[in-house]
Chains A and B, each alone.
Chain A
Amino acid sequence: MSLAAVPVSTQMPDLGQVTRVDEVGVKERVARFQSRSIKKESKVEALKMVLSMIDLTTLEGQDTPGKVRQLCQKALHLHDSMPGLPHVAAVCVYPTMVGVAKQALGDNDIKVASVATAFPSGMTPRQIKLEETRIAVDDGADEIDMVISRGAFLQGEYGFVFDEIAAIKEACGKAHLKVILETGELGTLDRIRRASVLAMHAGADFIKTSTGKIQPAATMPVTLVMLQAIRDYYYETGRMVGMKPAGGISKAKLAVHYLVMLRETLGQAWMTKEWFRFGASSLANDVLMQLQKQATGVYQSADYFSKD
C-alpha cells in the first residue's frame, strides 16, 4: 500500500463547521445508486473488484491457529477451479493470531490486518491500547483496525477521542490505521459525519463503519455519509483516505451497489483495494457463485464453494 504523499497535519478540526446531514436526502441518494442496473461485462468486472477488496475476517473468541490458517488458505486460493480470479486484499484477525496469519500467508501481498485497542468495545486504558497496537505491529500486522471510544465521543469529549486516534496512529509506525467508528452506536448521521472528520484529521488512513459485533453494522446511507466526508477532506487537504464498510454485506448484489456509490461519490481513483475494502466473512462465496453464474448461466450449489 503506497503511503499518501501529503503529510498528515494532526490538528483538531472544528466540528461545528462540519456540514449537516439530511437523512431523508441521504436515503434518496442511496436509492438512486441501487437503481443502477449493472449487467454483463461491467458486472463481471465489478464482482472481481469486490473480491480483490475483501478483508477476509474471523474475529471470534473461539478462533484457533488452525482456523486462521484455513482462512489464509482461502485468501490465497479463493476458488482455484475458476482461473483468473484475484485474491482478497487482506485477512483480518485478533492480535494473538497475527503471527499465525503472517506465517500462513508467506511472501504474498495479502495484508494482515489486526484489530486492536480492546476491540470491539474499546473500554480499556490508553496505555494498554497502545501496547496492544505495538505488539500487533511487531508481530507483523500491516494494518491496524482500531475502535474509537464511543462513550467519550457521545459525551462530547472530542479532544480525548482525537488524541487517542493520533496516539494509536503514532504507535502504528509503518502499519496503516483503520479507524472504526462503530456507527451503530453513534446514533445519527450527523455524528457519523463528525466522527469521520475527527478520525481523518487525527491521521486515519482508512475510516471503517463497524466492528460487526453491533447492529446495525455497515449500511449504504452510513457509508455514503463517510464517503462524502472523505471527499470533503480530500478537497480540503489533497490527502486520500480509504473507506471500509464492514459487517452486514454478505450479498454480491449489495457489494456491487457499494461500488456504484463509491464510483459516483469519490470517483475512479478510489476504486482499488488500496482505498476501499469490504470487511466481510461470507461475501466472497456469494460473489464467487455469481461469477460462476455469469460464466455458465446457471447457479451452482453452495457446496461447491469452500466454507472456512
Chain B
Amino acid sequence: MSINRPIIFPKTNSGNFVSTEPNKLAFNDGWQYAPAPESTDHVTIDQRYKLFIGGEFVAPEAGRHFETINPATEEQLSSVALAGEADVDRAVKAARKAYNGVWSKMPASERSKYIYRIARILQERAREFAVIESLDGGKPIRESRDIDIPLAAAHFFYYAGWADKLEYAFPGRHAVPLGVAGQIIPWNFPLLMCAWKIAPALACGNTVVLKPAETTPLTAMKLAEVIRDAGLPPGVVNIVTGAGETGAAIVNHPDIDKIAFTGSTEVGRIIQKAIAGTGKRYTLELGGKAANIIFADAAIDEAVEGIVNGIFFNQGHVCCAGSRLFVQESVADEVIRKLRDRMETLIVGDPLDKNTDIGAINSASQLETIESYLKLGQEEGAQMYQSSCAVPDRGYWCRPTIFTGVSQSNRIVQEEIFGPVLAIQTFRTLEEGLSKANNTPYGLSGGIWTDKGAKIFKMTQGIRAGVIWANTFNKFDPTSPFGGYKESGFGREGGLHGLGAYVRLEA
C-alpha cells in the first residue's frame, strides 16, 4: 500500500483520529508515570522588571509596562518595562560610551575573563534559569534543563576562549570590532539566543543593546543580573524589553553599527529594507521549512526518533525544525506506522513535569496560527492524524500532528507553521527527493537518513541549506556555524564563522 492512497481513520467522539489497523500496540491504559514536577521553590520572579541600561536597572521613561504570562496556565508571571525610543536611545548611548571608553580598549585577555565569568555563573544558576525558561516560554523542563541552559553557558565558554585569539581566527588580517550591535531575538530559545548574540559580540570587542521577545523576557532579565554580578563595565551589555516598536527603535537608531536579528522572514524583510543604504551591517536568521529525508536503507527506528526530534522538539517552535518529511515510498507505510505509535508515547502537558515531552505553545497568538494551519491542511484535503493524549484545560496546547496525502503545492508544505505539525510526502529516487527538498524559498536546515555514506555526501552537496544533519537532527554545538540560504537569512552564527559577523577585517 502506498501512503498516497488515503488512509481512512474513523473519527471518535473526542474528535481525534484512531487507527483501526490490525496488530496495534496499546500505550494508554495500565501503568502510568506519576507527576514529577520540578520544584519552583528556589526561584524568585520579581513583580516588575525594569530596563538594564548602563549597568543599572532603570525605569522606562514613559512608565509603560506589559505583562508576561505562563503559557501553560495563562497566569501572569511578571510585569516588564516597555522600552520606547528614548529608552533605546539611552541604551545605545550607554553602549557607545562603554565601547569608546572601556571595552574596545581593554586587552582581549581581560574581555575573555568577563565572558568566562558569565558562563560560570550561568552554570551555577542553571536550575533556576531552566525553571524560569519553562515557566515563561512553556518549553518542557527536560529541554530547558538538558539543552537550552547548558548550551547557552557553552556558547559563552566557547566565545570567551576566542576573545584573545582573533588573530588566529583570521590569519594575516587584523580583526577590528564593529562598535555597537543591536540585537533582536525570538521567543523560542530565549536565553540561548541571548548567548548566541551576546557572546561573539563581546568576544570581538563590541558592546550590545539586546531586545528579548515580548512573550519571553524573564531569562534575559535574569541574565542582566548575571552580567551585573559578573562585574562587566557598565553599558557593555544593555537589555531593553518591548515588542515591535522597541525593535524598530533599535533597527532605526543611527548610532548602531550592526543589526543581528533572529525571527520571522517577514520581519527580516522589514529590517533589511529599513537599514538599506545606512551602512549598518546585519545578520538575519529567519524562517525555515526543512526537509527531513528518510531513505529505505536507513536505520528505520532511529530515523523515526529523528523525525520526532526534528518536528516535536520545543513544540516545533524551531526555525530549523524538520517540518517536511520525505520518506522513500517502499518504507513509507512502516515509517508512518512507527511514527504514529511513537507519537502515542509523547507526553503533552505541564512544562515543569520532568516527564513532559511537549510543553505549552508559547502564546495564544501562536496557537491561533498553528490552529489555522491545521484547519487549512484539512481544507486542502490532507489527512490529519493527532496523538490521542489528553491536554490540560487551561493554557495553550497542540497535540503532535502529522499530515499525509499532501504535495508540494499544499500551503502546509510551503509555509512555516512553527508548531508541532509535520507534512509527510513520499519520493522514489534520490533525484526526486533532492528536487522536492530544494523546492522551497527557505534553506536553513535539512536531514538525511541512510546507511550509505556515499548517499549522504551526494545529498549534502545537493541540498541548499545552511545546516544538514545526517542520521540525526536538531543537534547544536557552539563550534558549529548556523545560518541560512535563500529566505532563511544571511550570515552565520556559531563557530569561527560567528566571529566574522562581529568584526571588520583590515590588512
Chain A positions within 8 Å of B, measured between CB atoms, are 19-22, 24-26, 28-29, 35-43, 45-46, 49, 228, 231, 234-238, 259, 263-264, 266-269, 271
List residues of chain A with CB within 8 A of the CB of B298: 20
List residues of chain B with CB within 8 A of the CB of A234: 23, 25
The answer to whether A20 touches B297, judged by C-beta atoms less than 8 angstroms apart, is yes
Between B32, B33, B305, the greatest number of chain A beta carbons within 10 A of the residue's beta carbon is seen for B33
List residues of chain B with CB within 8 A of the CB of A37: 33, 36, 354-355
Shortest CB distance B436–A (Å): 24
List residues of chain B with CB within 8 A of the CB of A237: 23
Bound complex: CA A24 to CA B34 (Å): 29
The answer to whether B297 touches A38, judged by C-beta atoms less than 8 angstroms apart, is no
Verify if B71 is at the interface (C-beta below 8 Å from A): no
The answer to whether B23 touches A20, judged by C-beta atoms less than 8 angstroms apart, is no
List residues of chain B with CB within 8 A of the CB of A236: 23
Complex interface residues of chain B between 129 and 176 (CB less than 8 A to chain A): 142, 146
Task: Mark contacts of B305-318 with chain A using CB atoms, 8 A cut-off: 1 yes-contact digit, 0 otherwise.
Answer: 11000000000000
List residues of chain B with CB within 8 A of the CB of A271: 30-31
Verify if B75 is at the interface (C-beta below 8 Å from A): no
Verify if B226 is at the interface (C-beta below 8 Å from A): no
Shortest CB distance A190–B (Å): 9
Task: Mark contacts of B17-54 with chain A using CB atoms, 8 A cut-off: 1 yes-contact digit, 0 otherwise.
Answer: 00000110111111111111000000000000000000
The answer to whether A22 touches B302, judged by C-beta atoms less than 8 angstroms apart, is yes
The answer to whether B31 touches A25, judged by C-beta atoms less than 8 angstroms apart, is no
Task: List 7 A-B pairs, Cβ < 8 Å.
Answer: A22-B299, A25-B306, A29-B305, A37-B33, A42-B31, A263-B31, A268-B27
The answer to whether A238 touches B23, judged by C-beta atoms less than 8 angstroms apart, is yes
The answer to whether B25 touches A231, judged by C-beta atoms less than 8 angstroms apart, is yes
Bound complex: CA A285 to CA B129 (Å): 39
The answer to whether A36 touches B34, judged by C-beta atoms less than 8 angstroms apart, is no
List residues of chain A with CB within 8 A of the CB of B28: 268
Bound complex: CA A88 to CA B35 (Å): 28
Q: Which of under 10, 10 to 19, 20 to 34, or 35 or more describes the interface residues of B?
A: 20 to 34
Shortest CB distance A275–B (Å): 12
Shortest CB distance B76–A (Å): 28
Shortest CB distance A252–B (Å): 15
Bound complex: CA A24 to CA B471 (Å): 9
List residues of chain B with CB within 8 A of the CB of A20: 297-300, 451
Across the A-B interface, the 4 shortest Cβ-Cβ residue pairs:
A25-B302, A22-B299, A37-B36, A268-B30
Bound complex: CA A271 to CA B32 (Å): 12
Task: Mark contacts of B453-476 with chain A using CB atoms, 8 A cut-off: 1 yes-contact digit, 0 otherwise.
Answer: 000000000000000000110000
List residues of chain A with CB within 8 A of the CB of B299: 19-22, 25
Bound complex: CA A45 to CA B355 (Å): 17
List residues of chain A with CB within 8 A of the CB of B34: 38-43
The answer to whether B471 touches A22, judged by C-beta atoms less than 8 angstroms apart, is yes
The answer to whether A267 touches B31, judged by C-beta atoms less than 8 angstroms apart, is no
Bound complex: CA A25 to CA B300 (Å): 10
Shortest CB distance A230–B (Å): 11
Bound complex: CA A238 to CA B341 (Å): 16
The answer to whether A266 touches B297, judged by C-beta atoms less than 8 angstroms apart, is no
Shortest CB distance A13–B (Å): 16
Complex interface residues of chain B between 295 and 350 (CB less than 8 A to chain A): 297-303, 305-306, 337, 341, 345
Question: How many A-B contacts at CB < 8 Å in the complex?
Answer: 91
The answer to whether A268 touches B142, judged by C-beta atoms less than 8 angstroms apart, is no
Bound complex: CA A56 to CA B301 (Å): 32
List residues of chain B with CB within 8 A of the CB of A35: 142, 146, 354
Bound complex: CA A39 to CA B38 (Å): 12
The answer to whether B301 touches A228, judged by C-beta atoms less than 8 angstroms apart, is yes
Between A26, A45, A235, the greatest number of chain B beta carbons within 10 A of the residue's beta carbon is seen for A235
List residues of chain A with CB within 8 A of the CB of B305: 25, 28-29
Specify the chain A residue showing the minimal Cβ separation from B344: A267
Chain B positions within 8 Å of A, measured between CB atoms, are 22-23, 25-36, 142, 146, 297-303, 305-306, 337, 341, 345, 354-355, 451, 471-472
The answer to whether A267 touches B472, judged by C-beta atoms less than 8 angstroms apart, is no
Tell me which of B27, B302, B303 contacts A267 (CB under 8 A): B27
Tell me which of B33, B301, B337, B451 contacts A42 (CB under 8 A): B33
Bound complex: CA A25 to CA B451 (Å): 12
Bound complex: CA A29 to CA B338 (Å): 14
Given A35-B146, A259-B31: A19 in contact with B301 (beta carbons within 8 A): yes
Shortest CB distance A27–B (Å): 10
Specify the chain A residue showing the minimal Cβ separation from B141: A37
The answer to whether B26 touches A267, judged by C-beta atoms less than 8 angstroms apart, is yes
List residues of chain B with CB within 8 A of the CB of A235: 23, 337
Bound complex: CA A21 to CA B301 (Å): 8
Given A36-B355, A235-B337: A26 in contact with B31 (beta carbons within 8 A): no
List residues of chain A with CB within 8 A of the CB of B35: 39
Tell me which of B23, B27, B36 contacts A264 (CB under 8 A): B27
Shortest CB distance B336–A (Å): 12
Specify the chain B residue showing the minimal Cβ separation from A266: B25
List residues of chain A with CB within 8 A of the CB of B300: 19-20
Specify the chain B residue showing the minimal Cβ separation from A267: B25
List residues of chain A with CB within 8 A of the CB of B345: 263-264
Shortest CB distance A195–B (Å): 16
Bound complex: CA A24 to CA B28 (Å): 28
Specify the chain A residue showing the minimal Cβ separation from B296: A19
Bound complex: CA A242 to CA B142 (Å): 32
The answer to whether B472 touches A24, judged by C-beta atoms less than 8 angstroms apart, is yes
Tell me which of A39, A238, A268 contacts B31 (CB under 8 A): A268
Specify the chain B residue showing the minimal Cβ separation from A27: B302
List residues of chain B with CB within 8 A of the CB of A228: 301
List residues of chain A with CB within 8 A of the CB of B471: 22, 24-25
List residues of chain A with CB within 8 A of the CB of B302: 21-22, 24-26, 29
Specify the chain B residue showing the minimal Cβ separation from A29: B305
Bound complex: CA A35 to CA B38 (Å): 13
List residues of chain A with CB within 8 A of the CB of B301: 19, 21, 25-26, 29, 228
Specify the chain B residue showing the minimal Cβ separation from A237: B23
With A24-B472, A25-B301, A35-B354 known, 16 other A-B pairs at CB within 8 A are A20-B297, A22-B471, A26-B301, A29-B301, A29-B302, A36-B355, A37-B354, A39-B35, A42-B34, A46-B31, A49-B31, A234-B23, A238-B22, A264-B27, A268-B26, A269-B25
Shortest CB distance A37–B (Å): 4
Bound complex: CA A29 to CA B472 (Å): 12
